Chains A and B, each alone.
Chain A
Amino acid sequence: SQKIEQNSEALNIQEGKTATLTCNYTNYSPAYLQWYRQDPGRGPVFLLLIRENEKEKRKERLKVTFDTTLKQSLFHITASQPADSATYLCALDLARQLTFGSGTQLTVLP
């Protein structure tokens, strides 16, 4: 069956450290993958899109990798801040629609 898994429901890290979130999928072959941030009670907000032929994409303190052999994407936040605390969702872009993982709740401790 098709499945998208994001590592642990919750991740706590210390301010200033790098947060690494994992998105694994099975039985999909997405050409693109997206990451979103969601704050409590709000709609998700787009962060980054990466294509299958891009190994890595960066935006400010954010970095995403996409390994289609491992069927995995890693999402990194460097020099993390308490304001980065939120739920992060990965989404497989299947051209006609996005299919989302259940998200990882990140808490950055001061």
Chain B
Amino acid sequence: DADVTQTPRNRITKTGKRIMLECSQTKGHDRMYWYRQDPGLGLRLIYYSFDVKDINKGEISDGYSVSRQAQAKFSLSLESAIPNQTALYFCATSDPGQGNTGELFFGEGSRLTVL
């Protein structure tokens, strides 16, 4: 089994629908992240969490919300999906080193299409 698991892997939805992307990890890491990837724009950080009670906005948090249900679970929600949220979404975890973020371990991605 993968260390970082994302569900669903693919989802097609309509404008205005609520969508939740889920992420679970077995690495025992406290830090978890949600990124989105668009062609030509690279990975952009949506939200990150350092533990269950520490959640922070990233570069592009508008239109998204998150929930850290447990150390192992970090969910991303789109309350009312819009077409420009069509993207590939990645969850990641890390175990920070001395003064650095540490290596990120990514899931396989969730491809979301909003019609």
Beyond A41-B109, A43-B109, is A89–B42 a contact (Cβ under 8 Å)?
Answer: yes
The prevalent SS among residues of B at the interface is strand
Beyond A97-B48, A100-B42, is A31–B108 a contact (Cβ under 8 Å)?
Answer: no
**B106: CB under 8 A from chain A?**
yes
> What's the A-B contact tally at a CB cutoff of 8 Å?
65
Choose among B40, B42, B90, B107 the residue with the greatest number of A CB atoms under 10 Å from its CB: B42
Please tell me the number of chain A residues within 8 Å of chain B, measured between CB atoms. Answer: 27
Segment of B66-74, B75-83, B96-104 in the binding face:
B96-104
A residues with CB within 8 A of B: 4, 9, 31-32, 34, 36, 41-46, 49, 51, 89, 91, 93-103
A31→B108 CA distance, assembly (Å):
28
Find out whether the CB atom of B101 lies under 8 angstroms from the CB atom of A44: no
Which of B4, B35, B40, B99 is the one whose CB lies under 8 Å from A102?
B40
- Nearest CB in chain A: distance from B110 CB, A: 10
- Nearest CB in chain B: distance from A29 CB, A: 13
Find out whether the CB atom of B101 lies under 8 angstroms from the CB atom of A99: no
* Residue of chain A at shortest CB distance from B96: A95
- What residues of A have a CB within 8 angstroms of the CB of B101 in the complex? 32, 34, 93-98
